Chains A and B, each alone.
Chain A
């Protein structure tokens, strides 16, 4: 029973990781890549860790695995958020097929203050594209 669980969790975990990898390679813009990366990889690694917890079936291992999983689940989205918003700052454009951009023109370029939805839209020219050297 336990063995089967290990097969499943590890197999699924590896698949999700692979998915994240392919996604990172295939997705057309930074935001989509971040998106794919965070989810699939986090889930995948969570599963892989679970597999090891199942394998050892030991309290100390299990607690550590849980700790790692919780930690990853807390930090991964935070860093995704940071990177995503930074990507927007430095002017990485959305994929050409993108549908909507509510964020456009909302950032004050010098203070990095972000406006809410109800405020007047202006300074659109501020989001010109730039890329790292």
Chain B
């Protein structure tokens, strides 16, 4: 859309929203949030950018096709799922936890990486869907 107001507002909102999405992702284990909502927020940030600056620019910011995030995210989730099986001789999806928790995020463990995988997949697939539609309009 040809509007300076939206354009500049969204260019400032984009980093903030992305930051917010990471925040939502990381705190999910302790408070409402998590990979899915976090991923949606991030996707929405890019969609907003696509609305205001046009699809091409939004794609340029991403540098690669958002679809690429899907296998990447799924790999992350998959690896965090099977790593206990491979490395620790424990059943699939068993949580492996670091000794000490850290602030904001809390305990660091394989479920966190799993959630990050979810986050990436959600961004990837939502953006693939919306960008594809926008392109075909």
Contacts and interface: CB of A to CB of B under 8 A. Distances in A.
A–B direct contact (CB < 8 Å)? yes
Contact of B9 (A67, A74, A112, A113): A74
A85 B3 contact: yes
Contacts, number: 20
A112 B6 CA distance: 15
Interface of A: 67, 74-75, 78, 81-82, 85, 112-114
B5 interface: yes
A75 B3 contact: no
Interface residues of B, number: 9
Contact of A81 (B3, B12, B13, B20): B3
A90 to B, nearest CB: 14
Given A81-B3, A82-B1, 4 more contacts: A74-B9, A74-B12, A75-B9, A75-B13
Interface string B98-129: 00000000000000000000000000000000
Contacts of A112: 2
Q: What is the interface of chain A mostly: helix, strand, loop, or mixed?
A: helix
A113 B3 CA distance: 10
A65 B1 CA distance: 31
Chain A to chain B: the 5 pairs with minimum beta-carbon distance, closest first = A78-B9, A81-B5, A112-B2, A78-B6, A78-B5
Contacts of A75: 9, 13
A112 B1 CA distance: 9
Contacts of A113: 2
Nearest to B5: A81
Contacts of B3: 81-82, 85
Nearest to B2: A112
Contacts of A74: 9, 12-13
A87 B110 CA distance: 50
The residue among A67, A75, A82, A114 with the most chain B CB atoms within 10 A of its own CB is A82
B44 to A, nearest CB: 12
Contacts of A114: 2
Contacts of B9: 74-75, 78
Interface in B1-33: 1-3, 5-6, 9, 12-13, 20
5 contacts: A74-B9, A74-B12, A75-B9, A82-B3, A114-B2
Contacts of A82: 1, 3, 5-6
Contacts of A67: 20
